[in-house]
């Protein structure tokens, strides 16, 4: 039997799991692991996001640790890797924009945005997480699984929140309200 694993919504393709998974971040349990995962790669960036972050860097750095401010001053906040633009990390772990509230890692860009200090709400790759965008003649949305997100899967199932509901704002930011409405109609 043939099973369709890719679903089109307008000009965007979705891997089926994006529409089936229940997901809702549980920061008390994961401690913001997405901002501190060990990897030689940081979050992907777009060129226009680098410009927006540069314009807001002074406001963002108000929330960062001395260590991360020094990293940004000495090495910048982004780097090219494998033909992609990536946010720099400290010791291949913490995003340079991370700060901590108690023991929970949070985003300094998002904090500056939520306090009205800047108009840019973190890179779209971070906003969409754990949805990742691959390019294959257009955007293909896929779910990227991490053990650190097991509590989010449990909370999503418990509260019956789908991944596409959890990522509603970031999906609208990326593809627009009409596209999101079409997505919801397709998977009602």
Instruction: Please report, for the chain, the start and end positions of each structural domain, with discontinuous segments joined by +.
Output: 1-23+130-188, 39-120
Q: For residue range 66-107, what is the model confidence (pLDDT) as tens digits? A: 999 999 999 999 999 888 899 999 988 899 999 999 999 999
Instruction: Give 101's strand partners.
Output: 104
Q: For residue range 110-150, what is the model confidence (pLDDT) as tens digits? A: 999 999 999 999 999 999 999 999 888 889 999 999 999 99
Q: For residue range 16-36, what is the model confidence (pLDDT) as tens digits? A: 999 999 999 999 999 999 999
Alpha carbon distance 156, 165 (integer Å): 10
Tokens of 2: 């043939």
Helix (H), strand (E), coil (C) string for 19-86? HHCECCCCHHHHCCHHHCCCCCCCCEECHHHHHHHHHHHHHHHCCCCHHHHHHHHHHCCEEEECCEEE
- Give yes or no for residue 187 having a pLDDT over 80: no
Tell me which H or E stretch contains 105: strand 104-107
Read off the pTM.
0.89
């Amino acid at each position: 039997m043939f099973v369709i694993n890719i679903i089109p919504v307008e000009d965007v393709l979705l891997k089926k799991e994006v529409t089936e998974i229940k997901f809702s971040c549980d920061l008390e349990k994961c401690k913001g692991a997405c901002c501190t995962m060990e990897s030689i790669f940081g979050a992907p960036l777009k060129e226009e996001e680098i410009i927006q972050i540069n314009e807001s860097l002074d406001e963002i750095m108000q929330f960062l640790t001395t260590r991360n401010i020094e990293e940004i001053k000495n090495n910048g906040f982004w780097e090219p890797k494998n033909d992609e633009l990536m946010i720099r990390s400290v010791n291949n772990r913490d995003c340079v924009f991370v700060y901590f509230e108690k023991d929970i890692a949070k985003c300094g860009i998002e904090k500056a945005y939520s306090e009205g200090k800047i108009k840019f709400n973190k890179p779209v790759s971070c906003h969409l997480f754990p949805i990742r965008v691959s390019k294959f003649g257009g955007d293909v949305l896929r779910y990227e699984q991490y053990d650190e997100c097991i509590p989010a899967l449990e909370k999503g199932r418990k509260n019956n929140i789908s991944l596409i509901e959890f990522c509603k704002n970031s999906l609208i930011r990326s593809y627009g309200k009409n596209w999101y409405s079409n997505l919801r109609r397709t998977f009602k």
